[in-house]
Amino acid sequence: MINLQEDDAYIRENALISAEGALHAAMTRVDFALRGALCAVVGYGRIGQELARLLLALGAKVRVIARREESRQLAEKDGAQAFGIAGMAEALHGAQVLFNTVPSQIITPDALHALSSGALIMELASPPYGFDLEAARALGFDAVLESGLPSRYAPRTAARLLMDHLEAGEQHG
């Protein structure tokens, strides 16, 4: 048996494909360039890190909201502004795009009020998700669920990545 959840290289590469897919999905939904846009990333695990780095490379202004101090320090080292969960409303103030990677409802409707009017809110986490999609839509935001990005955005790449790591696992196992 091969457990890909223990294969850090696989998880990192899969996160990068997820982040690239999230950018693609965001770019097709907004009518402005991400370059210069204020974007917030909630969570600084593997997907959050890759997403923030890609956004920064595009020239976006990136704010990261992370629970752990080490994650916030890494986000700042990467070039983003970092905030703790308690600073969520401040971090979201004026953001035009919000990407959530945390599978726990930590983004309250009150915090969403800090976003720019009509902001795009993209859910990348698994259930129970980081915010209530229907509540966000009721507030006038373009709130979308973008799960399963690697296989939907780049199916051939996702399949090749999976096969490469399964075959490598068989050779080492």
* For the chain, domain boundaries: 11-172
Selecting from 3.40.720.10, 1.20.1740.10, 3.40.50.720, 3.30.56.10, what CATH number does the domain 11-172 have?
Answer: 3.40.50.720
Angstrom distance (rounded) from CA 143 to CA 121: 5
Indicate the DSSP class of residue 143. Answer: E
Q: What is the pTM of this model?
A: 0.90
Residue 6 has what pLDDT? 66
Residue 129 DSSP SS3: coil
Angstrom distance (rounded) from CA 126 to CA 3: 19
Residue 150 has what pLDDT? 72
pLDDT band at residue 171 using 50, 70 and 90 as cut-offs: low
Comparing 12-26, 31-45, 154-168, the range with the smallest average pLDDT is 154-168
What is the layout of strands, in order, in the sheet containing 97-100? 81-83, 61-65, 38-42, 97-100, 120-123, 142-145
Residue 151 has what pLDDT? 72
